[in-house]
Amino acid sequence: MADPRFRGSGVALVTPFRDGEVATGVLKELVAFHLREGTDALVVNGSTGEAVTMNPGEQMEAAAAVVEAADGAVPVIVGVGGSATAAVKALARNAAEVGADAILLAPPPYNKPSQAGIEAHCVEVIEAGGLPAVLYNVPGRTACNVLPETVRRVADRADVIGVKEASGDLSQIGELARLVVDEVALYSGNDDQILPVLSLGGTGVISVLANVVPADVSRMVHAFLDGEMAEARRLQLRYLPLIRMLFADPNPVPVRAAVRHLGFEVGDPRMPLLPLGEESQQRLEGEMRRLGIEAGHAA
């Protein structure tokens, strides 16, 4: 494999908001937390980070804060996305300007381009930014399914170092692994499928769950990669109920509530998302207590 950039757990960071602005101080606190807990990579401005509600200046501000706080300790991967290729190319250039290690690149949402259109979009964005890319297949959000053959063609034309696969289709993920896993790192994009994807040749996860239990998500992946299958399986199964709760409402609504329960003032999601309802909040906090994840864990 040429350059996997990271092995283990990349956290899909929530973006803290305060008084309508990005709370960069809290974002840096989150980075420090993840460095202490052993997270292997930091992903900012993704779906969990609500980048779709942030203007380019805010996205650049958040990315710069994460790069500064990480200070080279772990890779920083910056999400760049949108429906207009020209605008996404500008985001990729911004990511390079602030010192990101790579970009996370999904196909354009809403437009529903062909596979050839997805390929052309990805190649142009990667070339414009000059950074290596982790492609992101998340059909539930983009209404586009990036087929394995398309990933192969993009990787043949541009600097693709990884794929975050969140289609949930293990048959498709297996075919993707068959085509590219010797050259391109494969990351699970679904927390309930970390071990299945690793078993197909994956090297890690870009995780929502890692916002809440970063040390255990990293441990799960490394245990599998080190041949400690029973430990990896124990951790995957241990957190399945919490994973279900983190996705019972639109992501990142529940995980923001969970991170706030840890002691970080991340604020509410931006509209049109609404804060987690009281009943769901109580169930989530009850499950966290059952797992020994208590308020103040961030301290």
pLDDT of the chain, 299 residues: tens digit per residue: 557 789 999 999 999 999 999 999 999 999 999 999 999 999 999 999 999 999 999 999 999 999 999 999 999 999 999 999 999 999 999 999 999 999 999 999 999 999 999 999 999 999 999 999 999 999 999 999 999 999 999 999 999 999 999 999 999 999 999 999 999 999 999 999 999 999 999 999 999 999 999 999 999 999 999 999 999 999 999 999 999 999 999 999 999 999 999 999 999 999 999 999 999 999 999 999 999 997 655 44
Q: Residue 16 corresponds to which amino acid?
A: P
The C-alpha atoms of residue 19 and residue 278 are separated, in whole angstroms, by 22
The C-alpha atoms of residue 128 and residue 234 are separated, in whole angstroms, by 43
From the list 28, 89, 112, 136, the catalytic residue is: 136
Could you tell me the sign of the dihedral formed by the alpha carbons of 149, 178, 197, 46, in that order?
Answer: negative
| CATH number of the structural domain spanning residue 104 | 3.20.20.70
Give residue 195's domain range: 8-214
The C-alpha atoms of residue 92 and residue 97 are separated, in whole angstroms, by 9
From the list 89, 110, 112, 164, the catalytic residue is: 164
Q: How far is CA 37 from CA 34, 40, 74, 185, in A?
A: 5, 9, 12, 23
Short-list 15, 58, 20, 29, CA closest to 298 = 29
Residue 114 is assigned to a structural domain of this protein: yes
Residue 169 is assigned to a structural domain of this protein: yes
Short-list 85, 93, 36, 106, CA closest to 59 = 93
Residue 136 is assigned to a structural domain of this protein: yes
Relative to beta strand 21-22, strand 17-18 is antiparallel
CB neighbours of 291 closer than 8 A, spacing ≥ 6?
213, 238, 239, 242
Q: How far is CA 283 from CA 106, 250, 298, in A?
A: 32, 16, 20
Residue 238 is assigned to a structural domain of this protein: no
Tell the residue number behind the tokens 């994956």, with chain if given.
Answer: 202
Domain count, the chain: 1
The C-alpha atoms of residue 182 and residue 174 are separated, in whole angstroms, by 13
Tell the residue number behind the tokens 């706030």, with chain if given.
Answer: 260
pLDDT at 4: 78
Residue 110 is a catalytic residue: no
Residue 137 is assigned to a structural domain of this protein: yes
Residue 164 is a catalytic residue: yes
Could you tell me the sign of the dihedral formed by the alpha carbons of 284, 288, 290, 296, in that order?
Answer: negative
Q: What is the pLDDT of residues 146-166, one digit of tens each?
A: 999 999 999 999 999 999 999
pLDDT at 289: 95
Residue 55 is assigned to a structural domain of this protein: yes
Q: What is the pLDDT of residues 22-65, one digit of tens each?
A: 999 999 999 999 999 999 999 999 999 999 999 999 999 999 99
SS3 call for 291: coil
If 0-12 CB within 10 Å is exposed, 13-18 middle and 19+ buried, where does residue 62 land? Answer: buried
Residue 278 is assigned to a structural domain of this protein: no
Residue 288 is assigned to a structural domain of this protein: no
The C-alpha atoms of residue 290 and residue 65 are separated, in whole angstroms, by 34
